[in-house]
Amino acid sequence: MPIVSRSAIIRSAAWLWFIAALAILAVGFREAIFIAPTEATMGDVQRIFYYHVPSALMGLILPYVNFFASLAYLYWRRRDPLKALSADALALASAEVSIVFVSIGLMTGMLWARASWGIWWTWDARLTTYLLLWLLYVSYLLLRRFSSSGESHTLAAVISVFAAVDVPIVYMSIHWWRTQHPSPVFSGNGSLDASMWPAFLWNVAGWGLWGVFVMLFRFALERRRQLAEQNDALTAIEASLETAP
Amino acid sequence: MNSLTSYLGHVLGHLRKDLRIEWRSRDSINGMLFFSLLVVVVFSLAFDPTAAVSRQISGGILWVALLFATVTALNQSWTREQNNQVLEAQRMAPAPASALFLGKALANMIFVLVVEAILAPVFIVFYNLHVLGNPWLLAIILPLGTWALVVNGTFFAVLGLRTRNRELLLPLLLLPISLPALLEMVQATTGVLTAELDPLQINTWITQLAGYDIVYTIVCLFLFDTVLNAE
């Protein structure tokens, strides 16, 4: 049996994943644009649904990855610093990718709202909650940028815990606030017709694969940056030892 | 029991120290007071409200003014500890780190409450306010809302100690996290001022605000040690 290095296996697996994601996205595009029936009241505009909902779903799932990676970082911080660093890289990658998906969800939602409700934005419970999610993760990334490299991991993990605690509170308070004024905008939101499910599911699968791919790619990049940093530090220490008398 | 009294002793010691420092300079309270007064005047000029409108909006304006004033004061509250490396000494001290946090947060709470006590009559005069609901409810809402701002604000101010753009970072972190609390306190205050909300709804807002306070006090106490010793 030929000896194959671990990185080569990972590399080919990544290529396979990438190609599979693109292929499924292509199928999803065909299903969504050409095969799925035109919606009765909204017309072709409804097809943005097949892109809006998968992005919104990813934007809701990836913050969990960020939260658990941050908890893992806080747990391993003193016990196993090397594992902690990779947990931190995962937290960073998932936060960045979830901001991208939440932004896409917000923007496609605005386009859809403009076409079907006639307004770009309304302070409806679901929209407001989602916007706050976006704000929380932008402030998370800003903190990472502003803090010095030595402590940014810890501070960011702490803020991630704060954000995770905030989301259910935001959800409850805003729903309670807005349910006092029932808004008619979601009344047209019935269940999905059976003929539309294939297009929806293909797109969920495609964007899910794509999102995980981008997140892992970003994770690998961050790991590489961390390793380079460690090597630099080691070289500096060795150099200082050699010059010592 | 013994450890609890010694913990409370530490908290009290930190609180007394912060109050004494503030008493000698009175920088925070004066700064906050003048700042929130300016916000009140600016909003009055910008909107020129009638009595009915001012009843609708003054709850929001009161909290926005207090929020911004709190941010300006909290930015200063930890820099005091950096003089003469006091903070390094605090980190090496055997006393629990959360006692330091609790003392500081309570001191900031007292400062903001003093500002509120002075600001309330000013509000009533400038906005021609006549409270239509039960004014005693404000005696619950104001401390709860203040604690919600101060407990997280004190925590995030220490995050910013060793970062670049310290003054900028605090509001960027505090505002998104505080948005639900802000919603709750503004709704409850406006409900009391206008008497348009059902008392049951006002109670629910107050309960939610209290829940927010409890949850974040626990999270802050739990994580403060991690943040103080982050390297």
What length does chain A have? 245
Contact B178, B95 (CB under 8 A): no
Residues A115-144 have pLDDT tens digits of 888 888 888 777 888 899 999 999 999 988
The mean of the pLDDT values for chain A is: 85
Average pLDDT over residues A5-26: 89
pLDDT of A181 strictly over 80: no
The structure tokens listed for B51 are 């009595």
Lowest mean pLDDT among A192-196, A205-209, B109-113: A192-196
To the nearest 10 degrees (0 to 180), the angle between helices B27-47 and B51-77 is: 150
**Residue A183's pLDDT band (cuts 50, 70, 90):** very low
Average pLDDT over residues A53-62: 89
Contact A28, A224 (CB under 8 A): no
Average pLDDT over residues A178-187: 49
Report d(CA B54, CA B127) in Å as an integer: 6
User: Which one of A75, A79, A158 makes the best mutation probe of the B interface by having the most chain B beta carbons within 10 Å?
Assistant: A158
Contact call for A154 and B187, based on CB within 8 A: no
Backbone angles phi, psi at A39, to 5 degrees: -70, 145
Contact call for B219 and A176, based on CB within 8 A: no
Q: For residue B231, what pLDDT is reported?
A: 65
Q: For residue A205, what pLDDT is reported?
A: 92
pLDDT of A185 strictly over 70: no
Contact call for A170 and B180, based on CB within 8 A: yes
pLDDT of A6 strictly over 80: no
Contact call for A136 and B180, based on CB within 8 A: no
Residue labelled with tokens 């704060």:
A162
pLDDT of A182 strictly over 80: no
Q: A14-23, A234-243, B117-126: which has the highest mean pLDDT?
A: A14-23
Contact B119, B37 (CB under 8 A): yes
Residue labelled with tokens 């931190």:
A88
Alpha-carbon distance B22 to nearest alpha carbon in chain A (angstroms): 28
Please tell me which residue of chain A has the smallest CA distance to B185.
A173
B85 — alpha (psi -120 to 50), left (phi > 0) or beta? left
pLDDT of A202 strictly over 60: yes
Report d(CA B130, CA B145) in Å as an integer: 21
Q: For residue A120, what pLDDT is reported?
A: 86
- What percent of chain A stands above pLDDT 90? 38
Average pLDDT over residues A12-31: 91
Does residue B36 belong to the interface with chain A, where contact is any CB pair within 8 Å? no
User: Which one of B156, B168, B179 makes the best mutation probe of the A interface by having the most chain A beta carbons within 10 Å?
Assistant: B179
Tell me the pLDDT of chain B (231 aa) as tens digits.
688 888 899 999 989 998 998 898 888 888 889 998 898 888 888 888 777 788 888 888 889 999 998 998 888 888 888 888 888 888 888 888 889 999 999 999 999 999 999 988 888 888 888 888 888 888 899 999 999 999 999 999 988 777 777 788 889 899 999 999 999 999 999 888 888 888 888 888 999 999 999 999 999 999 998 888 876
Q: For residue B4, what pLDDT is reported?
A: 86
Average pLDDT over residues A152-167: 89
The structure tokens listed for B145 are 């809302």
Alpha-carbon distance A92 to nearest alpha carbon in chain B (angstroms): 17
**Residue A3's pLDDT band (cuts 50, 70, 90):** low
Q: Which residues in chain B have their CB less than 8 angstroms from residue A180's CB? A: 201
Alpha-carbon distance B191 to nearest alpha carbon in chain A (angstroms): 12
Please tell me which residue of chain A has the smallest CA distance to B176.
A136
3-state secondary structure at position A183: coil
Q: Is A176 or B175 the better-scoring residue by pLDDT?
A: B175
Does residue B228 belong to the interface with chain A, where contact is any CB pair within 8 Å? no
Long-range contacts of A167-172 (CB under 8 A, 24+ apart): A167/A63, A167/A129, A167/A132, A167/A133, A167/A136, A169/B180, A169/B208, A169/B211, A169/B212, A169/B215, A170/A129, A170/A132, A170/A133, A170/B179, A170/B180, A171/A129, A172/B208
3-state secondary structure at position A39: strand
Angle, CA B211 vertex, CA B209 and CA B216 arms, to 5°: 100
pLDDT of A22 strictly over 90: yes
Alpha-carbon distance B148 to nearest alpha carbon in chain A (angstroms): 13
For A110-128, b where at least 16 C-beta lie within 10 A, e where not — what string? eebbeebbeeeeeebbbbb
Alpha-carbon distance A68 to nearest alpha carbon in chain B (angstroms): 16
Contact call for A146 and B169, based on CB within 8 A: yes
User: Which of A158, A166, A173 lies nearest to residue B184, judging by beta carbons?
Assistant: A173
Tell me whether residue B3 is exposed, middle or buried, using C-beta atoms within 10 angstroms of its C-beta: 0 to 12, 13 to 18, 19 or more: exposed
Contact A163, B177 (CB under 8 A): yes
E-state strands within B114-206: none
